[in-house]
Amino acid sequence: MTQELFEAYKSTNFNVTEPNITINIGKTNASLDELLLKHNETCYAYITAENPYGKSYTKEQNELRHQQLLEATSHYVVYEGEGAGEDTTWPPERSLLILNISKVEAIALGKQFEQNAIVLGNIYEAPELVICVEWDV
């Protein structure tokens, strides 16, 4: 993964469909904190299964991968969404906001679905982009 790709990920809008929440790296979010409080949770991850390692997959392949992510997270409270970057030539990726998943479990899930990075956060704190692959900055 390149520094340019890392910066692109950092500027992505990580959207939750319902309730309507946008998560941005490095910015706290009162609406997200309220959602966590509603479920008596303190941590979360935002993960996609689409386009592994940043390679473009077909709509059908991505749909299958998203269904597999839903199955893998069926024991968590999850909310559907999509990550939309500033580069509009790259389509938004269906994603999940996963509540009460530990950092270790979330990174393992990101690696399982061959993602370069995932978003991790805790209530009242700014979310961070966590790299799941080895790379040189």
Domain residue ranges of the chain, discontinuous segments joined by +: 3-131
Q: Is the pLDDT of residue 136 over 70?
A: no
- Residue in 120, 132, 134 with CA at minimum distance from that of residue 42: 120
- Residue in 68, 38, 36, 39 with CA at minimum distance from that of residue 52: 68
Averaged pLDDT score across all residues of the chain: 94
Over residues 115-133, the pLDDT tens digits come to 999 999 999 999 999 999 8
Backbone φ, ψ for residue 85 (5° rounding): -85, 175
The reported pTM is 0.95
pLDDT band at 134 (very low <50, low <70, confident <90, very high): confident
E strand or H helix that includes residue 30: helix 30-38
Cα first-last separation, the chain = 8
Q: Is the pLDDT of residue 94 over 70?
A: yes
